[in-house]
Amino acid sequence: MSADLLAALDEFAPSPRPADTRAPRLRPVERTATRRRPRLAYGIVAVLGAAAIVAAQMVVSILTTQDTYAISTLTSQQRQLTWDRQILYDEVAGLSSPQYLAANASALGMVISEAPTFLRLSDGALVGASQAAGWQSSIDAVGRGAVANALITQTPLVTDPAATIEGVPVEVTDEAGQSVTPPALSDGLPTPTTR
């Protein structure tokens, strides 16, 4: 059985290839092949592209830095304008206060009557108890009021620039005779002088 089996296997076995009788394609080289140079244009384009990217990054960086400084300057100006607006608002509030208006009216010679007098428009007659011109008001508008108003204590009156609601303005000075005013805060908080 083994001979039959071998015969059957030989039938299905691949046939051997015929030997290649052709000569190999190898041949000796008469001269060496010239080496191809890289294209110069590709190199120039690559270098110019890298230079353009670096230049664009520098321009963007410079513009961003300039914008940052401009924003910082505008923020500082906005803060200063906000402070100025608040100062002006406080000044207007002080100048429109009843104490300041009464002090200016008193400086002009107007008096406050305890008995009100009205002017009737139909005939122009005064209705109510009128007082003599020499009458003095019971309210001292120029002197110290019941509640002090810090916004107008040193503000001069319209009719008398040398006087204020609390009298003649007095400038606070130290032992050396220099004016004691708070330092300006335009450059930040003041620092003490050391010796």
CA separation for the pair 142, 99 (Å, rounded): 8
Query: What kind and span of H or E run contains 128?
Result: strand 126-128
Instruction: Report yes or no: 117 and 128 within 8 Å, Cβ to Cβ.
Output: yes
From first to last of its 195 residues, what are the pLDDT tens digits of the chain?
577 777 777 676 666 666 666 767 777 778 877 777 777 888 899 999 999 999 999 999 999 999 999 999 999 999 999 999 999 998 888 888 888 888 888 777 777 666 777 888 889 888 876 654 455 555 666 555 556 677 777 788 877 777 777 765 545 566 676 665 555 556 666 677 776
Query: What kind and span of H or E run contains 119?
Result: strand 117-119
The predicted structure's pLDDT at residue 39: 79
DSSP SS3 for 52: helix
